[in-house]
Amino acid sequence: MAKIMIESAINGNAMRKLNPHIPYTPKEIADDAVATCKAGAALIHFHVRNPDNGEWVQDVPYYAEVYRRTREHCKPLLWPTFPFGDDPAPRFQHFIELSKDPATKPDLGAGDMGSVNLVAYDPASKTVHGSNFIYKNSYDTIRYFLEHSRELGLRPTLQIFDPSFLRAALIFLEQGLLTEPLLLKFYLGGPELPFGLPPSLKSLEAYLDMIKGVRCNWFGATLGGDNLPLVPTIVSLGGHVRIGLEDHQYAREGQLTNPQIVQRAVSMITGMGHEVATPEEARRMLET
């Protein structure tokens, strides 16, 4: 049976008031990345945070410390986030700075392939938070991310928040800026983040219908909701799995840790007769 890759997004912008296990300091982030990798995650996505208050920051020394500490113990495919803004150059600069040293070079580039309204929604109170915010990525911005990922020799992970994002990725593939196999992350909007398509079989089938004939590795994720119930569907369709405390904090489900979430996904995957890919196997899968 096919081997399944697991990506864990270990912290994002989520705060400890929702789950005390969310890592803030570089050491905490690295320790969590190591434990989560040993639990079965081959890919790790992370943000760096102000060690004192957990605020999202972009300090290259913090990023570098996470890379060095993590790689002392294991070698997952580590990739950082990038911030919001209108100018793509400062948003991508940390990829360039980190790539100057092999010890801190990211394992993947990245590109968020379009613009989207990202609001938080509380279904219980029916209230919306962040209603003025638009996450903007023009075609020129996307091209900047993809061109510079290519210059650095990094295969970009392509974040797909709705079908228009996937259409953009396919255009860049037709233009030759992207090469197969594509690395696609299908982000489905859970009840707390009502964007794009909902987490369901039909949503994934709609995406898969758009990439017929395209060689790719795709991951299914639920942002603002628990992705674990969708794991069997993702795997049965030939996909890989993204989970983690960035995407859902399990505040009402026992405040799980990242390694515990990964362990639950591993149990589902192996119970279906599949093996979970190691970091070394994932590297080979993403290139062939």
Residue 288 has a pLDDT of: 80
**Does residue 202 have a pLDDT over 80?**
yes
pLDDT in tens, 108-134: 999 999 999 999 999 999 999 999 999
Which pTM does this prediction carry?
Answer: 0.97
Which residue segment(s) compose the domain that 143 sits in? 3-287
Pairwise CA distance, residues 61 & 43, whole Å: 21
Contacts of 261 (CB under 8 A, 6+ apart): 8, 228, 243, 244, 245, 250
CATH number of the domain to which 38 belongs = 3.20.20.70
Q: Is 122 exposed, middle or buried (0-12, 13-18, 19+ CB in 10 A)?
A: exposed
Percent of the chain with pLDDT over 70: 100
pLDDT in tens, 35-75: 999 999 999 999 999 999 999 999 999 999 999 999 999 99
Output Rg (C-alpha) for the chain, integer angstroms: 17
Helix 163-174 to helix 139-151 angle (10° resolution) is 50
Helix 88-98 to helix 139-151 angle (10° resolution) is 10
Do the beta carbons of residue 199 and residue 235 sit within 8 Å? no
pLDDT in tens, 231-264: 999 999 999 999 999 999 999 999 999 999 999 9
Domain count, the chain: 1
